[in-house]
Chains A and B, each alone.
Chain A
Amino acid sequence: DTEVTQTPKHLVMGMTNKKSLKCEQHMGHRAMYWYKQKAKKPPELMFVYSYEKLSINESVPSRFSPECPNSSLLNLHLHALQPEDSALYLCASSHNSVSNQPQHFGDGTRLSIL
């Protein structure tokens, strides 16, 4: 079982819907990440939060809005998504955001945009 929990596991939404993806970890990690993974591709970094502050935004469209309410939780708010946004969204956490810290991944949310 992964120590990073993501909900929901699957999500189907229309292009006009607003939904949120949630991620939780209780390992005391202070860095949390969102990745997007298309089929047969490696994960691509979207956002990095370090000590609850956004430290990296990899030029992600504003229809994706991250939020880190506290050190254990990370949300990704979705609004007006496009069909090409259908993918597996992975959350990860690490002790901190220094480069030599291994990241631990959740099992992802499989998102389908109709």
Chain B
Amino acid sequence: GQQLNQSPQSMFIQEGEDVSMNCTSSSIFNTWLWYKQDPGEGPVLLIALYKAGELTSNGRLTAQFGITRKDSFLNISASIPSDVGIYFCAPGGSQGNLIFGKGTKLSVKP
């Protein structure tokens, strides 16, 4: 079966720092989506990627669809406290379903 690896599993951020996370897969996908989930809420779509090599920004967020179509990264620049939450990559499966990564939990440095 296909494997989807998201890393890091968790990370601590200090306000103003840049953050990077990525997902790699053993399978090729046509779509990569990135979601953020806050406690008690559903996942919210951040960025959608549709073409290999595509680089897309949404404010301080930048995501890229890997050339091989097997990976994607998400960068957050100049992090702020409200960036805390769980980030999921979700490539699109062949039947229209989404396959979610295990998530990257962003927390504030103590």
Evaluate contact between A45 and B97: CB separation under 8 angstroms: yes
Inter-chain residue pair count (beta carbon < 8 A)? 70
Question: What chain A residues lie within 8 Å of B95 (beta carbons)?
Answer: 48, 55-56, 97, 99
Distance between Cα atoms of A110 and B39 in the complex (Å): 12
Evaluate contact between B96 and A50: CB separation under 8 angstroms: yes
Distance between Cα atoms of A94 and B48 in the complex (Å): 13
A55 to chain B, nearest CB (A): 8
A28 to chain B, nearest CB (A): 17
Residue interface mask A42-74, B partner, CB < 8 A = 1: 111100101000011000000000000000000
Distance between Cα atoms of A84 and B107 in the complex (Å): 28
Question: What chain B residues lie within 8 Å of A56 (beta carbons)?
Answer: 95-97
Question: What chain A residues lie within 8 Å of B100 (beta carbons)?
Answer: 42-44
Evaluate contact between B98 and A45: CB separation under 8 angstroms: yes
By beta carbon, the residue of chain A nearest B32 is A100
Most A CB atoms within 10 A — which of B42, B94, B98?
Answer: B42
B93 to chain A, nearest CB (A): 6
Distance between Cα atoms of A35 and B26 in the complex (Å): 23
CB within 8 Å of A: which B17-50 residues: 29-31, 33, 35, 40-45, 48, 50
In order of increasing CB-CB distance, the 6 nearest A-B pairs are A97-B96, A105-B42, A42-B100, A99-B92, A100-B31, A107-B42
14 sampled A-B residue pairs with Cβ under 8 A: A2-B41, A2-B42, A33-B97, A42-B101, A42-B102, A55-B95, A55-B96, A90-B42, A97-B96, A99-B94, A102-B45, A103-B45, A107-B40, A107-B41
Q: A residues within 8 Å of B by Cβ?
A: 2, 4, 6, 31, 33, 41-45, 48, 50, 55-56, 90, 92, 94, 96-108, 110
